[in-house]
Amino acid sequence: MKSLKILKKENLNWEYDKEADVLYISVGEPRPAEGIDIGEGVIVRIDPKTKEVVGLTIINFARRILEEVKG
């Protein structure tokens, strides 16, 4: 199994697209990356050169939160 550098807390940026209901989380400024769909509407973005995780994309973010709150 290949090794990946995992997200660190510092320097996280995020943007929420309300119309699409998608949350984008980036380490530092957003940059080109390859997306890996890990299931259930979560995509991990990885720098293909360094194999570093550079962000996450969470689809249907608000809907997920509301479903959890409603129980």
Helix (H) or strand (E) holding 11: none
Q: 24: closest CA among 12, 6, 11? A: 12
State the chain's mean pLDDT as an integer: 88
> What is the reported pLDDT for 6?
63
Model pTM?
A: 0.80
> What is the reported pLDDT for 2?
61
Say whether pLDDT at 57 is over 60.
Answer: yes
Residue 28 is classified by DSSP as S
